[in-house]
Structure 1
Amino acid sequence: MIHLTRRQLQFASSSILAIAAPFLHAEETSENEIIPPTAIYKVDPSHPDELYSRGVEGEAIIIASIDRTGTVIEPIVDRASHEEFGLSAMIAASEWIFEPATKNGVPIPISVKIPFNFEIAFEHKLNVEMGREVFQELDVPVIPSFELDKAPEARHIPLFDEFYPEELENTGKTSAVSLEFIINPEGNVINPRIVSISTPGFEEAAMRAISHIRYKPVRFEGQPSYVSMMMPLQFSP
């Protein structure tokens, strides 16, 4: 099963060209100009199902021999963070087509390294982390919390600073974030979104933090209900 819309697979032809030179199958001299190959048709690798379901990201680097017609010949895995990533990347690389490398204007065979990054959308990673579908499509009425007789009561509120982004540690940065979200009939937070933020870089941390809040189930007119709320968060190191 291929998840092309939800799985972000990134690679750059500039990276291919940058590392092509050390793998040339031709003698180089200052008088002989070798122009590396250029990818003119690319195929994205599929994110292996089992790794995707676990929210596992990774990378793979493929060594590909390119013949005089620009066809990839017998690609092999140089390295991969998971064996499955290597296999998926190798299959994809075998379907690439290149403008062949040339030496003094004449096509030549050459070998290149092609990097592939297997990345997953934050929404899916959060679903995996929480063990439930945090982001959902709703086709039911949602009651604004201000229409309730009293505000929803939280059963558990985590320490928000525990979600401070690792990449921002030791920067001293702080952020005030305002979020909107929905409490479902089980008391779980779903569909969080950022309304405003004072310092960029805390968006994912804020949505992770708010998703860990648990509420007592809300009833409206005697019925279990979906309720929308807004809440400010403050992050400090």
Structure 2
Amino acid sequence: MKPRLFEKIPLGLALAFFSGLPAYAQASDEGAGLYGPPVVTDWTAPVYPPGLKAENIEGRVQVSLVVDEHGVPGNVRTTKSTDPRFEAAAIASVEQWKFKPAVADDKPVAMGVGITLLFKLPEPKKPGLLPPPASMPRPLKKTPCKVLSQVEAEFPLALAGRGVVSGRVQVELLVGIDGSVSDVRILEATQAEFVMPALEAFRRWKFEPARQGDLAVTDKVATSVSFSAMDGLSEATRNRLSDIRVNLAEGQRLEQVCERAPECTVGISPVFPHDAAVAGRGGEATVEFTLGSLGTLFDVRVTNASEPAFGRALEAAIRASKFLPAKKSGVGVTAPMIWTHKFRQPAATPPADPDAESSETRVIRIVNAGGKIEGARGLDRKLRPIWRQLPVVSEGLRESGEKHTAEIEFVIAPDGRACLPRIVNASNEEFGWAAATAVSCWVFDPPTRGGEPASVRVRIPLRL
């Protein structure tokens, strides 16, 4: 038996994976700390233009400026005035003001602010220690960033070979002050395989940065990318090419069941059972189920499996998937469904294009060749998840109120995909497979060791 090296992740970190917090931050935009605009510590009242004073003309000037993280004002300019002859005096006044910088999340930050200066007669004999309330600085409204250029995401070749023909990834982009995408938070993905192509594409998008007055500021943008390899195909052809399809009786046509076939909105790939994978065995399984008129799954059952583990893996995958129902005359209808999946061992010779096979297939090839996969010690940086799926179980197990646990060992491939999960122990068999299936969808920042891409073996506990 080959030695198994792994790194066990503490339960605290495991629970953090399910916190629902962004991968790049553990707080809201403004954090849990203090937040506020710059505070005036000293000011110089504007000098009333003599000519306007002699004519008994009053006025108002709106000034825009940037107060940097040290409290120094800059980019002082007027944006609106009742009489342009007041503007020079307003600018000269504000340029002499002193500030404590704005604060965000307990840290001093630069901020674009606006100040309204009032020219009223008669002038006060002696200016106050601070400006009047109407002249206190206020944060300027932020102008959102704008897309300048986009990069299309490529459809994963490995998925095209498995019958997956469409998908979608929803994200939140963090756009920096230079207009580049500094981070991407995955909000939803129909299949884990789409996550990395989407990330690679989004990180190359360019924006005109958001602004607060003259200050370029970071911004967040919610957007999505769609993948499709079925544009222009008929409903019947789509159904025939899909791995998960309407289970038509012999001689029955799709239009007899529905006018529009069900759509798999979240397609989860089945886990390759660990013991079979490392022993070099492939397999096959078929799951049949009923898809209700609201997209709910009923009567999920394994109807064929070359080994029980293949059936359990496929059943867990279908429970974790999501669907839009079949439709007839624009109304959702119930449809019998079937999914037959073949669990294939890696080909003897790797394909010329490495992207033509999945990360899991490459990991299985390494393991079967006796390759050593080490734990997380010695990595260049801590493992950081960027997408994770929750375990999905049957309604009966979910409503039983029982508490279940499972410990899953898995490999994080050099591209960040979680692969080849092994159920180390589980208090319930169904939850064990659900946990392994969920983990197989996780995506991490690609791990490196000594600057080189690395595979990493880890363990993690999960709870129901």
TM-score (norm 2): 0.24
Larger radius of gyration: 2
Higher relative contact order (CA 8 A, sep 6+): 1
